[in-house]
Amino acid sequence: MNTSGVWGEDIACEHIKNAGFEIIARNYTSRYGEIDIIAKGFGFIVFAEVKQRKSGAMISGIDAVSRSKMQKIYQTALTYLSENPCELQPRFDVISIVGSKNNPGSVCIQWIENAFDCDYFA
């Protein structure tokens, strides 16, 4: 992963922690793909995809998460839950980071909770 992507994920992790969640994994991979952040709190286990964009990007981070990417996240989450059973309600979030680490004061964070759910793939 490039350092810019790590920076975006670091920003997202801080945002999630400040909201009261506990980060339990980063960059979890399975044969299906990768989940950027896995967190828990408030009765949920959250599988979060982080998308970072520069200001003025043609496609937003939110719009960059395709149905195919959602399917990979979903399958990877099932793998994680089979290895780490829990009683929490799964939730799939997308966090968009717009800005640059060279100008941290201008960073915009958009956190879409429950951006998609398991029924989407049924």
How large a percentage of the chain has pLDDT more than 70? 91
- Within a 10 A sphere around the Cβ of 13, how many other Cβ atoms? 19
CA 62 to chain centre: 10
Average pLDDT over residues 80-88: 97
Average pLDDT, the chain: 90
Contacts of 66 (CB under 8 A, 6+ apart): none
Which of 87, 90, 96, 50 has its CA nearest to residue 74? Answer: 90
pLDDT at 109 over 70: yes
Three-state secondary-structure class, residue 89: strand
Average pLDDT over residues 73-97: 97
Q: Write phi, then psi, for 83 (nearest 5 degrees).
A: -85, -25
